[in-house]
Amino acid sequence: QVQLQESGPGLVKPSETLSLTCAVAGYSISDGYCWGWIRQPPGKGLEWIGSFYHSKSTYYNPSLKSRIAISVDTSKNQFSLKLSSVTAADTAVYYCARQSFVWGTYRPLQFEFWGQGTLVTVSS
């Protein structure tokens, strides 16, 4: 069974960079599947941030694209999210997840396995 665990600071100051890591157990990122980040402001709905298929493609939400970067460390079997120039509007629970994908195009599909989520608050 695939397990994902988010980690990172719970409090970030406005204008700084939010950095989170997702550790994956039970499956090797380099073996396939898409992997993504989703966030959920307190009491609100879900917003996709970005996804990737290792060594093939990376997809970012256009609304966040100028501020986000997703990277992978296959030696540690983990991937990371950096979100720059944060404001209070970036306060949310951040989830990482594994996605199914389209064979051949490596395009991400539904989110199959989710981490438990980590709350990040942006405040001075």
Partner 1 sequence: EIVLTQSPGTLSLSPGERATLSCRASQSVSSSYLAWYQQKPGQAPRLLIYGASSRATDIPDRFSGSGSGTDFTLTISRLEPEDFAVYYCHQYGSSPCTFGHGTKVEVK
Instruction: Output 52 or 59, the one with its CB closest to partner 1.
Output: 59
Query: CB–CB of 120/9 below 8 Å?
Result: yes
Instruction: Output 73 or 112, the one with its CB closest to partner 1.
Output: 112
For position 94 contacting partner 1 by CB under 8 A, the verdict is no
Long-range contacts, 21-26 (Cβ 8 Å, 24+): 21/78, 21/79, 21/80, 21/81, 22/78, 22/79, 22/80, 22/81, 22/96, 22/115, 23/76, 23/77, 23/78, 24/77, 24/78, 24/79, 24/98, 25/77, 26/1, 26/2
Give min distance, CB of 107 to partner 1, in A.
8
Piece of 16-24, 25-33, 77-85, 106-114 that binds partner 1 (CB under 8 A):
106-114
Site string for partner 1, 61-90 (x = CB under 8 A): xxx---------------------------
Q: Which residues are near partner 1 by CB under 8 A?
A: 44-48, 59, 61-63, 95, 100, 108-112, 114-117
